Amino acid sequence: MTDPSHTQAEHRVRVEWGPTGAVAVARTADIAVVIDVLSFTTAVSVAVDRGITVFPYRWGDERAAEYAEEHDANLALNRLDARWRSGAVSLSPVSLQTARGLERLVLPSPNGSTICAVLAETGVVVVAACLRNARAVGEWLRPQVEAGRVVAVVPAGERWPDGSLRPAAEDFWGAGAVLDSLDAALLSPEARLARDAYGGFAERPLEHLTTCASGLELIAKGFADDVAIAGRLHTSEGVPVLTGGAFVGGR
């Protein structure tokens, strides 16, 4: 059972990592903002901007193909597999920018998508944020926070080979970029720390993103263009909100 001290319940805006942290701080929240810059929420942002409906799905669930068929949607492939198939889509934002005739997509991922699926079961409003749409999400949140609603901001993080959480710099920067639009007096200490981290990132976002551990990993695997798309700070006005099990555009 979560220690009440760890829920940041005294603060209207909270930050905590990964799926376990997400549930801990979102249980008494009205809105949860999930950030998985490389690459789930960036992929969602790109897709929703193009009018594509995105269904998040738990990673490793063998029923994904059946779920996609039930929702008349395409199922995203593994990023490496999709690269060798013409027209295939995956977590790669590039694949979603160039896709043709794609209207509905089931998009599993081990971190961001899984967290969104878990949070959806709690009844909280779930929003997908990344560096592309951080300012738009922050501005969307501001009047709601001022009206008294409670927000949990969740940097997804990555996974070590043993399955444990690896906090990821890019997701912390993304969280801070969203929080930069909100009143500092309403932020928990954890949220203020994320906002401060973003201050050092904002002057040279692409440089930081291409030299952090997750960026280097994707670049080494041949996905430098995905990192470049993810680093386009404040270039989208879309606010993807999970509605009826799928992310659709909102503002």
- 41-70: buried (b, 16+ CB within 10 Å) or exposed (e) per residue? bbbbbbbbbeebbbbbbbbeeeebeebbee
Q: Give the pLDDT band (50/70/90) at residue 41.
A: very high
Architecture of the domain made up of 11-40+111-245: Alpha-Beta Complex (3.90)
Residues counted in the chain? 251
Q: What are phi and psi of 128, to 5 degrees?
A: -100, 120
CB 35 within 8 A of CB 133: no
| Complete DSSP assignment for 149-216 | --EEEEE--EE-TTS-EE--HHHHHHHHHHHTTS-GGGB-HHHHHHHHHHHHHTTSHHHHHHHSHHHH
CB 170 within 8 A of CB 215: yes
Q: What is the pTM of this model?
A: 0.96
Residue 70 has pLDDT above 80, yes or no: yes
Nearest to 178 by CA among 203, 193, 198: 198
Q: Work out the number of other CB atoms within 10 angstroms of the CB of residue 146.
A: 12
Q: Give the pLDDT band (50/70/90) at residue 173.
A: very high
Sorted by where each begins, the domain ranges of the chain are 11-40+111-245
Question: Is the pLDDT higher at 86 or at 169?
Answer: 169
Q: What are phi and psi of 217, to 5 degrees?
A: -60, -50
- pLDDT (mean) for 188-192: 97
Of all residues in the chain, what percent carry a pLDDT higher than 70?
A: 99
Q: Which residues contact 68 (CB under 8 A, 6 or more apart)?
A: 55, 74, 75, 106
Residue 79 has pLDDT above 90, yes or no: no
Strands 53-58 and 104-109: parallel
Residue 84 has pLDDT above 80, yes or no: no
